Amino acid sequence: MTTESRKDVVGLKISHRKIIAAAAVAVVTALCIMMFMLCRCRTYATVQFHMDTFISYYVESSFPEKAVDAMDREVRRCEQLFDRFSPESEITLINANAGNYTEVSEETYRLIAEAVKLAEENGGYFDPTLGAVSDLWGFGTDPRVPSEAEIGSAMEHVGYDRIGFMEKEGSFFVRAGEGQSIDLGGIAKGYALRLIGEAAAEAGCRSAVISFGGNVVLTGRGPDGRDVFSVGIRVPEENATSAAVVLNLGGGVVSTSGSYERFFVENGVRYCHIIDPFTGSCAAGDLVSVSVICDDPVEADCLSTALFVRGLDGTLDALASGEVTGVAIDGSGAVYISPDLTEAVDYDSVAQGYRLEVVG
C-alpha cells in the first residue's frame, strides 16, 4: 500500500469516527432537549365564554397558553358555524332557506349528517329539528309555557328524516324541511370538544381537562402525573358545587344532561330546557341527571340527552345491558352506575343524602 493510500484509509476512518461522534452528540442533545421540555412542563388554567356557556381549560404542557389558544380557536370557529342565533352562521342560512338546498361547508354538512345518524340510532329521542319547538319555550330569552295549540303547530315541523343532503361537483348542500329549524345544540358542544381533544394532542399536552356545558374531556395522563383523572358527578341541584359521587377514569369524555341548570318555574311547576321530541314538552320524569362516559364527545353529548328524554326505566335498561357506560341520578337520591364502573367508583365519595346502586 502506498503512502497516499494509507493517508486515504486513515482519513476515511477519522471521517467515520467524526460522523459517529456527531450522531452521538445529536442524540444526546435531542434527549437533553426532550428532558428539558418535560421538566419545564407548566400548568395553565383559564375560563372563557362561548356558545352561551362557560368553558374551562386546565392544561399541562411545555407551552400551555399556546395550546389553549389553539383549542379556543376551534371553539370560536364552531360557534360561528353552528350558532343558529347568529345571523351569519351556516345553520341560520339553512333555516332561513328551509325547503330549499343551501350550500354549506363540508364540515357543517358532515356534522348535520352525523346528527341525523345519531337520531336514527337513538330512536328519535334525540332530534336536531326541534328548533321551532325550543323557540316556543324561550329558554335563554324569555321562558314561558306555550299553549298546546302552539306546541302542536310547531311539532308539525319536527322530523330529522326531512333533512336533505346533496353533494355536487365538490360542493355540499343541506335542505331543512319547509318550516323546519335545525338546532345542533344537543351535539355542537360535543363536536367542539372533539376538535379540542385533537388540538390538545397536536400541541403535545401531557394532561388536559376541558369542561364545557356539562361535558368534560380528559386527555393524556391525569393531573400531576397520576394515572387517572378524578371526576365528580355533580350533585344535581341548582348552584351546587359538590359531587354526588367521584369516578377515577383513565381518560375519555363525560357528558351530563340534567334538569337542574337551565329551567324556570311557573305556577309551582319546574320546566327544564331538555325537550321531548315526541311531545314537544319539557322532558319530565324521575331522572334529574344522566352522565354518559365514552371516547367520542359527540356521541356522549347526544346519548346523555337522549337517555334523559327516555326516562329512568329506559336509562337503567341501557346501563344494565352494557349499551351505555354511565351514571344516572333520580329524584330520590339514588345514584345508579353501570356494572363496568364498579372499579372506577370512589365508594367513600358518595355524598350525604345519596345512595349508590349498581344496575344489572
The Cα–Cα gap between 264 and 306 comes to 21
Contact at 8 Å (CB) between 274 and 307?
no
Q: How many domains does the chain have?
A: 2
- What are the grid coordinates assigned to 169, written together? 361537483
Q: Please report whether residue 220 resides in a domain.
A: no
The Cα–Cα gap between 39 and 284 comes to 51
The answer to whether residues 238 and 356 belong to one domain is yes
Coil, strand, or helix at residue 118?
Answer: helix
Length reported for the chain: 360
Q: Please report whether residue 78 resides in a domain.
A: no
pTM summary value: 0.86
φ, ψ of residue 127 in degrees (nearest 5): -145, 120
| Residue-level pLDDT, tens digit, the chain, 360 residues | 555 554 454 454 445 554 444 444 343 333 333 333 444 689 999 999 998 899 999 999 999 999 999 999 999 999 999 999 999 999 999 999 999 999 999 999 999 999 999 999 999 999 999 999 999 999 878 899 999 999 999 999 999 999 999 999 999 999 999 999 999 988 999 999 999 999 999 999 999 999 998 899 999 988 877 889 999 999 999 888 899 999 999 999 999 999 988 899 999 898 999 999 999 999 988 999 999 999 999 999 999 999 999 999 999 999 999 999 999 999 999 999 999 999 999 999 999 999 999 998
Q: What is the DSSP letter of 113?
A: H
- What are the grid coordinates assigned to 61, written together? 404542557
The answer to whether residues 234 and 354 belong to one domain is yes
The answer to whether residues 154 and 272 belong to one domain is no
Q: Please report whether residue 316 resides in a domain.
A: yes
Domain CATH for 94 = 1.10.3980.10
Q: Please report whether residue 295 resides in a domain.
A: yes
Which structural domain range is residue 351 located in? 228-360
The answer to whether residues 232 and 164 belong to one domain is no
The Cα–Cα gap between 290 and 283 comes to 13
The answer to whether residues 169 and 234 belong to one domain is no
- Quick count: other Cβ atoms within 10 Å of Cβ 325? 21
Q: Please report whether residue 21 resides in a domain.
A: no
Is the alpha carbon torsion for 322, 325, 329, 334 positive or negative?
Answer: positive
The Cα–Cα gap between 24 and 29 comes to 8
Report the chain's terminal Cα–Cα distance, integer Å: 86
Q: Please report whether residue 233 resides in a domain.
A: yes
The Cα–Cα gap between 95 and 6 comes to 84
